Chain A
């Protein structure tokens, strides 16, 4: 596989459930990102990882917990979510976080919280 792959593509979960989103990149990049896309809003940055280290948390509630075991894999662990957390969650990667490099996105996970 090439590019950035996200699983699952769709997820429905109750407010008391615990689930995880997975992202894998096959581009040899060192930086990975989680973005949230809600209806009528621009994409919002959630977390940034560079060489497995979290470098940015954009004031995200603690019910979202990221994990980056290596430069190729990124997870977003979800627990006790709210209905307003329903959105498209997008993972992205880039060569580094210097700002000059191109970002590549996955197909996203459509999350519905019921």
Chain B
């Protein structure tokens, strides 16, 4: 059974810092891995999708990497801003639906 873990559960940084969020999964037989952002009480916004054959994807200040063999993915956020404050969720696709981690709640102070 696929399990997804995100570390740390919460992170506080000052504005301008570069940071890394970690995601690990137990079954390397995934189709893809998605990173989402969730603001309090809101739905999920898709940030990046990495197919199983890819190593990384980039969108603006965000860069996500995938290492299937080690069961790990990282989300790198460059030059963090207060507007980046949210919960970041990773999800592994192992079949018909996504398996989610509990998320990392990021707080960026100005």
Residues of A within 8 A of B (CB): 4, 6, 31, 33, 40-43, 45, 48, 50, 55-56, 88, 90, 92, 97-100, 102-108, 110
Contacts and interface: CB of A to CB of B under 8 A. Distances in A.
B43 A6 contact: yes
B32 A100 contact: yes
B108 interface: no
Interface of B: 4, 31-32, 34, 36, 41-46, 49, 51, 89, 91, 93-103
Contacts of B42: 107-108
A87 B108 CA distance: 27
Contacts, number: 64
Given A97-B95, A102-B46, A105-B46, 15 more contacts: A31-B96, A33-B97, A41-B102, A42-B103, A45-B97, A45-B98, A48-B96, A55-B96, A90-B44, A99-B94, A100-B31, A100-B51, A100-B93, A103-B91, A108-B42
Contacts of B36: 105
